[in-house]
Amino acid sequence: DTEVTQTPKHLVMGMTNKKSLKCEQHMGHRAMYWYKQKAKKPPELMFVYSYEKLSINESVPSRFSPECPNSSLLNLHLHALQPEDSALYLCASSQAQGATYEQYFGPGTRLTVT
């Protein structure tokens, strides 16, 4: 199984809502990632978890709150988002954190903030 799954596929939320994005992998990978991708642009790294601990935070606003409850799951909690946060949110995982470990991407959650 080389699959990373993400739910929901699509999400529409208001600026006062609280929602969560979920990501799951069963490959035994110990590094998991959140990326943000705007239309016609490349993915941009947001967070990296390594062995369930936050390893990299790319100066992401606090309205995005990641959580790694166990080695298979990664959540992204959303609160008080802005319309400019509308994007495709991609989750990825790799065997470990490091240059030579291939990152496997999920299909993404397309988020629209109204």
Partner 1 sequence: GENVGLHLPTLSVQEGDNSIINCAYSNSASDYFIWYKQESGKGPQFIIDIRSNMDKRQGQRVTVLLNKTVKHLSLQIAATQPGDSAVYFCAEIPYNQGGKLIFGQGTELSVKP
Can you give the binding site for partner 1, defined by CB under 8 A? 4, 31, 38-45, 48, 50, 55-56, 84, 90, 92, 94, 97-108
Q: Smallest distance from the beta carbon of 77 to partner 1, in angstroms?
A: 21
For partner 1, the closer CB: 39 or 69 = 39
For partner 1, the closer CB: 1 or 18 = 1
For partner 1, the closer CB: 18 or 58 = 58
For partner 1, the closer CB: 7 or 102 = 102
- C-alpha to C-alpha distance for 112 and 33, rounded to whole angstroms: 21
3-state secondary structure the chain: CCCEEEECCEEEECCCCEEEEEEEECCCCCEEEEEEECCCCCCEEEEEEECCEEEEECCCCCCEEEEEEECCEEEEEEECCCHHHCEEEEEEEECCCCCCCCCEECCCEEEEEC
Q: Smallest distance from the beta carbon of 75 to partner 1, in angstroms?
A: 17
Q: Smallest distance from the beta carbon of 40 to partner 1, in angstroms?
A: 5
